[in-house]
Amino acid sequence: MSITRIWVYLAEQPLLWLALTVGVFWLAKQFYFAVRQFPLLNPVLVSVAAIVALLAATGTPYDEYFQGAQFVNFLLGPATVALAVPLASQIDTLKRALLPLSIALAVGSLTGILSTLAIGWALGIDGQMLLSLLPRSITTPIAMGVSDQIGGSPQLTAVFVILTGILGAAFGLPLLGALRLRDPIAGGFALGVASHGIGTARAFEYNQQAGAFSGLAMGLNGTLTAILVPLIVWLFGLH
């Protein structure tokens, strides 16, 4: 039996793309640890690149891939909710740090939106592309909903969100180290505000407490950004 016929047979199996997605990510994770967690070889980035290359090589439409791998997408919801578990053990610390974290959330959320707006204008980006960029620092389901509400492209927004998360996970901790910010609460919260779920996963690799507060920041920033982005779009007349 030829390789082509084998592939056609396998492609008809409902769990093929789910198994490949999990397998590719596992291999990317092993590779990531083998290269001593080199930032630019983040397993999410490597997995995305590998799967895109495989889809292109086999001529597989994205919709067909998603039909097989959508269970991974479904698990994003429970995984996000599960981030509350490590945070529960930090409740006393959270109460003591409530005021500075609230200020950091407001400043971080506004900075993320306004800096994106300023950079977009500086590069001559406008219209739907600019609107699609604005919610890039929050988790994908919320960002896509916000983008659709303000007239952006949810599909473009999803790409920008993933790129933001990968860059945050790759460079966030080295940048915090260069700034001599050693506090896991502050560092984790910053990663969560700036680079949502992918940054949160990186924060958990660094420190359990950092991961807990990164998860908190991700959720709170998603809520606040969903309020602020439509308001800023209205104030600047971006529709």
* 207 pLDDT higher than 90: no
* 15 pLDDT higher than 90: no
Residue 14 pLDDT: 58
How confident is the model over 130-177, as pLDDT tens digits? 999 999 999 888 898 999 999 999 989 988 998 898 888 888 888 888
Nearest to 38 by CA among 173, 185, 233, 231: 173
The span from the CA of 163 to the CA of 136, in Å, is: 9
- Sign of the dihedral through C-alpha 142, 61, 133, 50: positive
The span from the CA of 128 to the CA of 5, in Å, is: 43
* 103 pLDDT higher than 90: yes
The span from the CA of 3 to the CA of 141, in Å, is: 38
Nearest to 167 by CA among 24, 73, 44, 31: 44
Please provide the size of the chain in residues: 239
Dump the DSSP string for 91-155. HHHHHHTHHHHHHHHHHHHHHHHHHHHHHHHHTT--HHHHHHHTTTTS-HHHHHHHHHHHT--HH
Identify the band that residue 5 occupies on the pLDDT scale cut at 50, 70 and 90. Answer: low
Taking residues 181-193, report their average pLDDT. Answer: 91
Residue 16 pLDDT: 81
Residue 8 pLDDT: 53
